[in-house]
Chain A
């Protein structure tokens, strides 16, 4: 436990030192604030609480940005240290390999959580308090959005370590990280949409679509935030949400599985890796 904390604390301090924490927080806060102000435009006339609209725009932003930040943090966490030679010394200390992976995950997870909570929190306060009449449900949706954004980030941190332990060079890891981001965040949905449009004879059942949406962590996050409650009405996903009928009880375990499985696999591969 102590070793985990020491490694995690070092990762977080590294993040402070190289301005990663600052940059990620400012980026998220800046974009979230501008969305909060822009978001009040269309919302004001139809009587939506501004906070609910902010949740819609912020979760759309998170789907792109949070995985990107997470992958940028994690893709060279292992291969980079191996290449620079610092891993050799670290592993000569009384530290188990899984503790290195989990410690880095906790430390970089804390960086991400800090950036999301502070960055989005500022925007939420501005939007919520500015409107003056945000109800409890909007605040709940906003809190759930922050929590699930951190979970989404954790998924891509885990994927990043898996990439990092599976390659020999940092450059390869960077390339794969970009590809992973593109596939999960952009191409997967486009491909799914394309297949559905082409599928005129309805070979693909609703069940298959539901399963395909569950498989992608980015879609699970989208369904969790955009397809329930008042928020769904503004996101245009109410129909999909009703069809898919996935509650938090399904979506959150799916996301948690996407955190744990790559992380466990990364730790197992790292244990077998020879330096």
Chain B
């Protein structure tokens, strides 16, 4: 009987001396789910990947990956079903891309024919005969992705997979991830930017100084952040000042210039403020309402105002 969670972390901690790289993280990733880990450099994302791979041992808490403790001897076999792309992946530069992929395929006991298919999938067929030391950053990243896909893994752990990829490649990368998760593969990836993840991952977990600050869907995160909504009104200058005075408590007058004012208010007050503007009798020429940007949501949790 298999449990549903592909990855389960319970109060997981990892200390290096006095520094807590990972500090009491509890998290479950369901099979077929795509979870994104976000956070500063040094927030603990890479350490979390190393713990999940058994490359380093936790100093507290427990974890299971594909129903096995990654630190146990038996986990060697489990790793056949895991694809991993390290941050800033480095390869044996003297080998060609094809040689390298075949080497890793042999280690994973994956069929040899898969290499050509994967080289094609990541667009490296032409370059596959060249030495890796001649590859650009983006080509290395694609080769890294190809090796992570070897052996049809049940779980993919991808540390900063989209660095060095241009927007087109980034799109095709996320298309690939969608395909994988649709087929039941679980994906855990880390990223610096929340904006590129919009509509691309199921859930987002934001880490700060080793702690899991928040975890949820983007909609949940927006709600939890409760960042102010911004109104931009085009009005004659005197009317604008009058309007701002009239609306009063709970609303901030963010900026005023000759022909426009900006107001901010908590998301819950949005409709009330809107009604107030409309019924005020002030001649508003135009109105623009902006919800908080994803970057603002991310900055909010990353900088620690969130629940902890």
Contact = CB atoms under 8 A, between A and B. Distances in A.
B55 A93 contact: no
Contact of B90 (A7, A17, A84): A84
Nearest to A95: B107
Contacts of B82: 92
A89 B87 CA distance: 10
Which applies to chain A's interface (DSSP): helix, strand, loop or mixed?
Answer: helix
A94 B80 contact: yes
A275 interface: yes
Contacts of A89: 84, 86, 89-91, 147
Contacts of B208: none
Contacts of B106: 2, 6
Nearest to A17: B94
A101 to B, nearest CB: 14
Contacts of A92: 53, 55, 79, 82, 84, 86, 157
B163 interface: no
Interface in B25-54: 50, 53
Nearest to A85: B90
A2 B89 contact: no
Contact of B86 (A3, A17, A88, A274): A88
A35 B108 CA distance: 47
Contacts of B86: 85, 88-89, 92
Interface string A60-80: 000000000000000000000
B94 A94 contact: no
B57 A274 contact: yes
B135 interface: no
Interface range, A side: 20 to 34
B92 interface: yes
A3 B73 contact: no
A93 B104 contact: yes
Contacts of A93: 79, 104, 107-108
A14 interface: yes
A88 B80 CA distance: 15
A7 B108 CA distance: 12
Contacts of B56: 274-275
B109 A2 contact: yes
Contacts of B89: 85, 89
B90 A95 contact: no
Contacts of B108: 93-94
Contacts of B77: 94
A91 B104 CA distance: 11
Contacts of A86: 90-92
B130 to A, nearest CB: 15
Nearest to B90: A85
Nearest to A271: B73
Interface string A5-42: 01100100010011000000000000000000000000
Interface in B244-267: none
A16 to B, nearest CB: 11
Interface in B105-128: 106-109
A6 B109 CA distance: 10
A10 B103 contact: yes
B224 interface: no
A212 interface: no
A96 interface: yes
A92 B79 CA distance: 7
B134 interface: no
A88 B144 CA distance: 13
Nearest to A5: B106
A96 B76 contact: yes
A91 B103 CA distance: 14
A262 B80 CA distance: 30
A165 to B, nearest CB: 15
Nearest to A90: B107
A53 B38 CA distance: 70
Nearest to B91: A86
Contacts of B195: none
Given A14-B94, A88-B86, A93-B79, A6 B73 contact: no
A60 B269 CA distance: 91
A19 to B, nearest CB: 11
Contacts of A94: 76-80, 107-109
Interface centre among B57, B76, B78, B94 (most CB of A within 10 A): B76
Contact of B76 (A2, A10, A14, A95): A95
B88 interface: yes
7 contacts: A86-B91, A89-B86, A92-B157, A93-B79, A93-B104, A94-B108, A274-B56
Interface of B: 50, 53, 55-57, 73, 76-80, 82, 84, 86, 88-92, 94-95, 103-104, 106-109, 147, 157
CB-CB nearest 8 A-B residue pairs: A85-B90, A92-B84, A94-B80, A274-B56, A94-B79, A275-B55, A93-B107, A6-B106
Given A85-B89, A92-B84, 8 more contacts: A6-B107, A86-B92, A89-B147, A93-B108, A94-B77, A95-B107, A274-B55, A275-B56
